[in-house]
Copies of this chain bind each other. A is one copy, B any other.
Amino acid sequence: MDLLPVPLKIIRREGRFRLTPSFGACVLGRPAPRIFGAATRMLGRLAGRTGMFFPQDFITAESPDVKLPLRVECRRPGSVRLGEDESYGLRVGPARIVLRAECDLGVLRGLETLFQLLSVDEGGYYFPAVTIEDRPRFPWRGLMIDVCRHFLPLEIVKRNLDAMAAVKLNVLHLHLTDDQGFRVECKTFPKLHELGSDGRYFTQEQMREIIAYADDRGIRVVPEFDVPGHATSWLVAFPRLASAPGPYKIQRRWGVFDPTFDPTNENVYKFFDKFFHEMSGLFADEYIHIGGDENNGKQWDANPAIQAFKKRLRSADNHALQGYFNGRILKILAKHGKKATGWDDILRPGVPKDMIIQAWRGNEFVAEAVRQGCRALLSKGYYIDLIQPAAEHYLNDPAPAGMLLNSAQRKKILGGEATMWGEMIDQETVDSRIWPRTAAIAERLWSAAEVRDVDDMYRRLGWVSLRLEELGLTHEKNYDMMLRRLAAGADISALRTLVDLLEPVKLYARHAQTKDFTSHSPCTRIVDAARPDSRAAREFEKLVDALLAGKKEAAEAVRARLLSWKGNHEALAPVIRRSPILREIIPLSENLETVSELGLECLDRLAAGRTAGEAWGREKRKLIEAAKAPCAQTELMIVPVVERLLQAASS
């Protein structure tokens, strides 16, 4: 089975439901209208996958044909809000499929499971007979997308919503404002988007389209308006609301900047009252995210009036002053019928208990938040912009068994969110940073805590990745496209062989290694084409593991790979010569040759049973160390694997 996320209970039964062109669906019960679009889309996806011409066109509420083999039953209309019932039961028999749920949100989840069950044998397409009972472990399973650092237009958000639905995520958190851009139309204060966005923002009609599209897929949209720091783009239009005199310009670089709202200025609260009045009408969800992170306090410290205010308030520090500010903002939100979420910087003694704290700096903030009576989300460990392997995210649990909490506190852990920060991505690359790794996080948040087999996760992730392409995601297809551009018309095979083994540097190393990167710098270089979680390197590592564990039959596969890599530079060098943008990878291509040669030498020694002396090992280790150094902001992922071969061969 390739189901991802793994359902709560699954029982395989005898038999197969054969998919034929007479397939079709009927919907019974009292669902919300979104169920019909979802069922129709599922039929279209099945047709697309199988090439079958199904006679049914749009599945509607009018006179359902109960003779059709897929029967969907639903007790009541669902509501896309925190805590709604998403459970479903799916029973596939040889002649019928029945999908039952309390509300249509469960049906949406179940339809995705059914689609993942589609299988093939010599007789054609079929669904295996199963009985599944399923519901999520956590009610808040999110993906945050930062559309500020690089704006991402509507269609990118939409296709990512489709992908989220495919892996049962249910919250899209849109980071809508930051130093680099104010990304939503504001009718009350139009200068906000007019002066703060370079013309790159969502109109309200587009935002409503996103919300409706998400709602159709059972996904909430939580907007983030990050205050009081990360606020440059607001202050371009309204410098008088800042804690230091303006003027301000849209920030083009990355980092933590000074411009901050003035918490002592009553006009600030009047402004936010009107602002949140409008935004509370635009966004349907009960929650608004107010950010609150990384206020560096410099403008506050430098402003005597703010210092005096702090003393009057008996605020010990800027953190407490921000607490005062948050309190005012929360009151405004409450007035407009909204509750707040915020980054863990907000957490302090006395923080209102109805706030949801999103832990980004450390998993311990989850525990601290729920101990204080707040509810909490985990994002630390789910920072997909940092290019870490899916396995690390996968094993990162919002509520691990070892966490010292009572059961009431545990219940306050609502789930988590993958965070797609936008400094180092653009429209071409963003999908490849989100997918397929976010599917691993989706499983962590949906499936039982005990589902932790990393190899099996990677196996299923390969299938998910392929399926996501059907929804228009570009994480796979933009790879070759970028390589074609880089190769400037030359054959890309040798280039792909190298880049398949590269990953962008991890964590914040790319920021450190490219100082002059701004919001208009190109995202078209090798580091952008390279993707996290090199599959080729992982497979090679498995083979070497096997070899070193004594499985001699792995040696041939290891040798074949090393041989092909060894000859790659010769094929790639002429391509690089004709494309100056590739010159920065010459050392990487040479290193691949060197390291592969070394690997082959190690293989020979291991095979002959004549390991070399320490001196040889020390000498060769220098090659390894040199090849480990990042180049063009990427790393050659097989180097540590060859290092292990070297270790074995020289000990």
Contacts and interface: CB of A to CB of B under 8 A. Distances in A.
Interface stretch (A349-357, A417-425, A479-487, A530-538): A479-487
A484 B463 contact: no
A522 B52 contact: yes
A466 B480 contact: no
A372 interface: no
A49 to B, nearest CB: 7
Contacts of A520: 44, 47, 54, 57
Contact of A48 (B54, B198, B203, B524): B524
- Residue among A49, A52, A578 with most chain B CB within 10 A: A49
Interface string A406-432: 000000000000000000000100000
A254 interface: no
A120 B488 contact: yes
A466 B489 contact: yes
Interface string A514-555: 001111111111000000000000000000000000000000
A453 interface: no
Interface residues of A, number: 54
Interface stretch (A219-227, A238-246, A470-478): A470-478
A525 B480 contact: no
Contacts of A523: 48
Interface of A: 44, 47-54, 57-58, 120, 122, 124-125, 153-155, 198, 203, 205, 252, 427, 462-463, 466, 469-470, 472, 474, 476-478, 480-481, 484-485, 488-489, 516-525, 577-581
B478 A466 contact: no
A49 B581 contact: yes
A518 B581 CA distance: 46
B252 A57 contact: yes
Contacts of A252: 57
A431 B520 CA distance: 27
A297 to B, nearest CB: 29
Nearest to A479: B477
Contacts of A203: 205
Contacts of A521: 47, 53
Contacts of A580: 50, 120, 124-125
Nearest to A199: B37
Contacts of A154: 154-155
A580 B577 CA distance: 44
